[in-house]
Amino acid sequence: METKTENLNLNIISKQSFALAIEKLVKTKEMSYVEAIIHYCDANGFDPVDISKLCVGSLKEKLEAEAQRNNLLPKSSHSLLF
């Protein structure tokens, strides 16, 4: 169950600042996108389930592509073009 404090903290973080923080972790720590998101959640006290609201745009596309490469999601016809 989501607490009021967790919900408030998630509202303070913008989608853009979250995406930038994840991109920075991926590049500087050589993590996968999944690892970077889990690391960010652990470091900031967020439940990974709640963070899904912040995974939009190019971050979501990169996360989906990584999951497809690792056979965690079925490959879509869109991903076959790349």
The C-alpha atoms of residue 14 and residue 61 are separated, in whole angstroms, by 18
Report the distance separating Cα 65 and Cα 71, nearest Å.
10
pLDDT band at residue 80, thresholds of 50, 70 and 90? low
How large is the average pLDDT for residues 10-23? 86
Phi, psi of 55 (to 5 degrees): -90, 90
**Is residue 61 over pLDDT 80?**
yes
The total of other beta-carbon atoms located within 10 Å of residue 82's CB is: 5
Number of domains in the chain: 1
pTM of the model: 0.77
Given a cut of 90, whether residue 56 has pLDDT beyond it is yes
- Residue 14 structural domain: 4-81
58 pLDDT band, cuts 50/70/90, is very high
